[in-house]
Structures are given as C-alpha cells and as structure tokens.
Structure 1
Amino acid sequence: MIPQSEHTPPDRVLKWVVNSVDPLAAVQSTRRLQGGISSIIHSVSLRTHGEVREFVVRQFDNEEWLKDEPDLALHEAESLRWAYGNGLCAPQIIAFNESGRECGVPTVLMTRLEGSVVLNPANYDLWLNGLAESLVKIHAVEADSFPWAYFTYNDIDTLEIPSWSSSPELWSRVLDIVRGPKPKFKPCFIHRDYHPTNVLWTGNYVSGVVDWVNACRGPAGIDIGHCRLNLAMLLGVQSADQFLSAYLSHAGTEFSYSPYWDILSLVDILFGPPTVYQGWTALGVTGLTDTLMVERIDRYMASLVERVSSHSDDMNHK
C-alpha cells in the first residue's frame, strides 16, 4: 500500500478496491478529486497484468443523505449499470459495498473516464451544444423497469415566498404555477443532477457524464430545468436559454417542452438563500458572489414566468 494521506482512501478501502479488481494488483497512486461535496471521491491507479488501469472510488460519508437514502451505493451501482449497458458515456461499475461493512461507509468502485470538467470553454456555442446533445442521448434511453422514480426534494405545498428575493410578487406566481396541474410526459431515463460539473470533455467533445447516484425514471424536463438553473447561476439567463434551444434542436419534434419543469427545478432549491456552488470554486471558477447568485436567480425566475405566459398563449392558439 502507498503511504496514507488526505489524498489516499483508508487502507481498508484500498484493500477492497484491489480485491475487487485483481487481488494481485498493486496500487500505483491515488488522488482526491475536486468537485465532490456530498461524498469523498478519489481516483486510484492500479497496475494489473502489466498495465495501469484507472478507477474512481466514491465514499458516501454524508450521514444526513444516508439517513434519507440508505441505498445510495446500490442506487449508483444500478444507475451506472443501466447507463453503461445502454451505450451511454458513463463509468462502468466494478463493485459496490452497500452496507459499508467492508469500507467503513457505503462505497462504489467504477472505471475512470477520460476527459475533464470544463467551465470556461474557448467556444461557448460548441460547449452548450455539446451539453445539450449529450443530455438528449441520455433521455433516449427507456427506463420503464428502472427501480428508482423521480421525486421532488421539496414539499411544494409547504414552500413560502423566499425572503431574500427582490421580486416576491413574481415568486408568488411561481408557487401558484408549480402547484397547478403537471403537464403530461413520457418517463425516460434521467440523470437527475445533470449540470456542467458532471460532464467531462476531451477537446470540443463530451467524453463522459459522471455522478449517476440520483438517476431515475422521470420527466426529461427535470434534467433540462436543472441544467438551465445551473447555467443561469454560473453564466446568466442567456446561456440557459441557448442550452434549451440546442436541446430542442437535437431532440426534434417528438419532444414537447413545457416551462413547468423549469419552474419545478427552480423551487426544488428553495432551502435558503442561493449561494455560490462549492463545486465551481473547487474547480477554479472565480468572480461569483452570493449576491450575484440571488440576482441571477431572480432574473431567471422572471424569465420563466414570462416563458409560461408565452407558452400558454401558444397552446391556446393551437
């Protein structure tokens, strides 16, 4: 075993990794990966049969998350199996320790994909188009028999107008909309946490999508809305709208867009005042402030209310 440090998983975890891959393998190196804020993620290089292979180990150490969803390791393992088995650019599951008995906490071992997260691309048009095209491919996968189903993180009926907003009247309208009837949709495989930090790139092309622990069957609009929300906070409303246009272009006429899902994705984050996502700062993004996040959320929210009105007018004229 290599010397223990903050960049190294515990010895018991490394032993489990080796035994899961090849008991005769040797650990070459380990590295703590940036971006994971709800679990501990390491890359592990093993030398086995004369070659070096790269793996990723995720340790679920968030007690509150595990209390709400004790099957996290099983969920991610099955999500990876489903995604990889359906030809998506996802890691391949190698092993998982659901109970945490062997590893201390629930743990998942998967292959490591090539590429890296890009948050400041040289060409934003290509970048947004790639994000959209990759998501359309995920939604093309059927999920009728996938065991996990979409649910909202917030109880919509108990939500209140956020005190931090400068547009309480518009938020009142948002809550009315989201408590109204849901549009019809055809369930598909959704990532449930699709945003730029979970997408890997090689050059101008998406090389993979990671962090599948929340994947489930549900409305495609939830993935679209979640990514749009992240883009609105990271870059502004224009980028969120450009992503939507690219998605609609790739999805074609079979997909029916409804802004309802954008709004539902928005209210699902109403746990408190919006703040700068730690994953962005861990990956080198600068210049964002909590004040700017509040301003961008309000602008995005206002754009959604306007989009709902336009969408309703369009539907009435059909």
Structure 2
Amino acid sequence: MNTMNPWLSNPVLEWVIDAVHPEARVASVERLHGGISALVCRIVLSVHGEERSVVLRLFTNAEWVREQPDLALREAASLRRASRASGTAVPQLIAFDETGERCGVPALLMTRLEGLVVLDPPDIRQWVDGMAEALSRLHQVDAADHGWSFTPYCDAGLLDTSSWSQFPGKWREAARIVTGDRPSAASRFIHRDYHPANVLWKDGEVSGVVDWVNGCIGPAGIDVGHCRVNLAQLHGIQAADAFLSAYRQYAGDSFAYDPYWDLVTLIDFAYWPPEVYKGWTDLGFTGLTTELVAERLDLYLLSILDRVSS
C-alpha cells in the first residue's frame, strides 16, 4: 500500500493519475463515508500548482462483483445519462476500469461535487421539497436505450416478518399484493437508490445527486418509494408523506402515484430483520435503534395499506 493512505495501492493511484493528467501529483486521499458496498475515496491532485478533487469508487465487495460483473460499466453509463438532466448536478465521468485490469477490482473515477449530506435538517419540509424537485428533474431524462432495467431486490413471496414485526399478517397481505398483477407504469430513467445519503446540499439547496451504480429504466415510483421508506425510518411517516406530496407537485401529470411501488420498495427493507443503516451512523446520524426502525417500518406499512384500500 502507498504510505500516504491505508486504502489505495500504487497501481490504483497510477491509474488515477493517468486518467486525470500525466503530470499530476497526489496531494491527499480521504475515505468518504455513507455507503457500505464499495470503497469510496476523495483524492486531491496537484496539477501544475492547481488542485483538483476527484472521487474514486473501488468495487471491493467480491460477492457483488461476482453477481454483477458490469458494475463499473453500469455506473459509467448511468452517469453519462444522468448528466443530461437539467437543473440537477451529477458527477462527471472521468474514467472507469471495467474489469479491474489496472486497479485489481472494477473501479470508476469521477469529478467531485461540492456539498454535504444532510440527514437531520432544521426544516424537514424544505429538505424533502429540495430532494423531490431534484428527483423530478432527473426523471425527465430520456429513458430510451439504457442497457439496464429495474428488477426487485427480493422475492416478496418469501417474505417472513414474524421474528420482528407486530403485524406479520399485514406484511403477508403486502406480499400478496406485490406478487399479484404489476400495474402499468411509464418507463423512466431512475436512480434506483435515491435517498438522503445520496443527495448533497450547499447553501440550503441541493447541489448534486451521487451514487449512480444502480441507475436503470423503471417506474418513477421505485425512486419515490425508495426515498420514502428511508425517510420513514429516519424521521417517520410525516416526512415520507411530505416527500410524496412534493414530488407529485413537481412531476405533475407525468407521474401517476400507485402505492404498489411503495410496497415493492418497502419489502426490500423488511426482507431481513431491520437494523440501523450503517451509512447513516457513519455520517453522524444518531437517535435510531433497531426497535425504533422496526416500529417505523410497521407503521409505514399500515399507512401504505390504507392508501391501497382507499
């Protein structure tokens, strides 16, 4: 390993330099937190006396790479596609090592966006409004000919919440709905992992959306639902509902809400016993317990089933 840091080898740093500028010098390396499936570092390079910050993702989870060997290629394609969005910034692709030939594992290098993750805002309504507006802009990107399509993470038919939920029967009802007929929905270019830890803020406004490795074509309701279930865990049902209301306002007639997609994304989180997401605690968020997360998932489920019945 390079003595400057405990994470990146010399071949990796050499690849970064080759991609940015052959005369660049590595000034510093900082590991970034908030994700749990890859090693992400901010690298500051000095090029002819000027500093340039880039972000490197190394796909170090061997099981994930075995299951999806095209991770770096997918994120590269998703970044290129997302860069077409008007009014919502995303990192710009610099280079990617699809197979790990240079870096030992698949890797992707991108520009660094200004801003910080906000998980406990002073004004929750303003916070969810900003995230909803940014998402609505991303969903306006042309969805044609992107090479990856949405698939659920879990088999809802195998869902069993009896070990932790107060309402296992209600979860079985949700699973029956999800395994039934899928409603029609317009195809959109979606982030697939849209939640507060992937949204950056600066001066009270969204400054960018990061982590595009799951970008694909699918229903807008998947992004909306994924963000809502994260908000329900962080701050409760009211925050999740405020996000939905704001998104519907920004998306207008281009979005037809269906609680089915909320259930799909919720089951992704209930498939295993609930826990406090490590990405949140790494970013300094406190106050959650496993018991509180389980309670909030139960209550959120009941609120969605109410929407289904109405």
* TM-score, normalised relative to structure 1: 0.94
- Distance in 1 (CA, whole Å) between partners of 2:97 and 2:2 is 22
How far does the alpha carbon of each residue in 1:6-36 deviate from its partner, in whole angstroms, 9 at most, with x for none?
3x52211111000111111111111010112
SS for the counterpart of 2:170 is helix
Q: Is the 8 A contact 1:2 1:27 kept in 2?
A: no
Mapping of residues 120-131 of structure 1, within 5 Å: 120-131=120-131
Instruction: Give structure 2 stretches of 5+ with no counterpart.
Output: none
- Distance in 2 (CA, whole Å) between partners of 1:11 and 1:85 is 34
Match of 1:241 in 2: 241
**Cα offset, 1:161, TM superposition:** 4.5
Matched residue type, 1:41: V
User: Which sits farther off after the overlay, 207-216 or 162-171?
Assistant: 162-171
CA RMSD of aligned residues (A): 1.4
Match of 2:40 in 1: 41
- Distance in 2 (CA, whole Å) between partners of 1:98 and 1:230 is 30
Match of 1:62 in 2: 61
Matched residue type, 2:123: N
How far does the alpha carbon of each residue in 1:201-221 deviate from its partner, in whole angstroms, 9 at most, with x for none?
002110000000000010000
- Distance in 2 (CA, whole Å) between partners of 1:158 and 1:281 is 29
- Distance in 2 (CA, whole Å) between partners of 1:172 and 1:281 is 30
* Matched pairs, number: 309
**Cα offset, 1:81, TM superposition:** 1.1
Mapping of residues 221-300 of structure 1, within 5 Å: 221-300=221-300
**Cα offset, 1:2, TM superposition:** 7.0
Matched residue type, 1:242: A
**Cα offset, 1:120, TM superposition:** 1.4
Match of 2:301 in 1: 301
**Cα offset, 1:78, TM superposition:** 0.8
Identity of aligned residues (%): 51
Displaced runs of 4 or more, over 4 A:
none
Matched residue type, 1:56: V
- Distance in 1 (CA, whole Å) between partners of 2:158 and 2:119 is 35
- Distance in 1 (CA, whole Å) between partners of 2:303 and 2:121 is 25
Q: Is the 8 A contact 1:4 1:10 kept in 2?
A: no
SS for the counterpart of 1:268 is helix
- Distance in 1 (CA, whole Å) between partners of 2:172 and 2:33 is 37
Match of 1:5 in 2: 5
Q: Is the 8 A contact 1:36 1:279 kept in 2?
A: yes
Matched residue type, 1:48: V
Please tell me whether residue 83 in structure 1 is matched to residue 82 in structure 2: yes
**Cα offset, 1:269, TM superposition:** 2.5
Match of 1:316 in 2: none
Q: Is the 8 A contact 1:94 1:110 kept in 2?
A: yes
- Distance in 1 (CA, whole Å) between partners of 2:258 and 2:162 is 24
Matched residue type, 2:68: E
- Distance in 2 (CA, whole Å) between partners of 1:171 and 1:15 is 51
Match of 1:313 in 2: none
How far does the alpha carbon of each residue in 1:238-285 deviate from its partner, in whole angstroms, 9 at most, with x for none?
100011011111111232110100001111233311100001100001
User: Which sits farther off after the overlay, 43-52 or 296-305?
Assistant: 43-52
Match of 2:178 in 1: 178
**Cα offset, 1:304, TM superposition:** 0.6
Matched residue type, 1:20: A
Match of 1:110 in 2: 110
Q: Is the 8 A contact 1:40 1:58 kept in 2?
A: yes
- Distance in 1 (CA, whole Å) between partners of 2:157 and 2:128 is 34
SS for the counterpart of 1:200 is strand
**Cα offset, 1:42, TM superposition:** 0.3
Matched residue type, 1:183: P
- Distance in 2 (CA, whole Å) between partners of 1:127 and 1:200 is 11
Q: Is the 8 A contact 1:2 1:29 kept in 2?
A: no
- Distance in 2 (CA, whole Å) between partners of 1:166 and 1:281 is 26
- Distance in 1 (CA, whole Å) between partners of 2:277 and 2:127 is 20
SS for the counterpart of 2:63 is helix
Match of 2:13 in 1: 14
**Cα offset, 1:165, TM superposition:** 0.7
How far does the alpha carbon of each residue in 1:60-101 deviate from its partner, in whole angstroms, 9 at most, with x for none?
010111111111011111111111144441100000011112
- Distance in 2 (CA, whole Å) between partners of 1:85 and 1:45 is 26
Q: Is the 8 A contact 2:138 2:190 kept in 1?
A: yes
**Cα offset, 1:307, TM superposition:** 0.9
Match of 2:155 in 1: 155
Q: Is the 8 A contact 2:81 2:141 kept in 1?
A: no
SS for the counterpart of 1:102 is coil
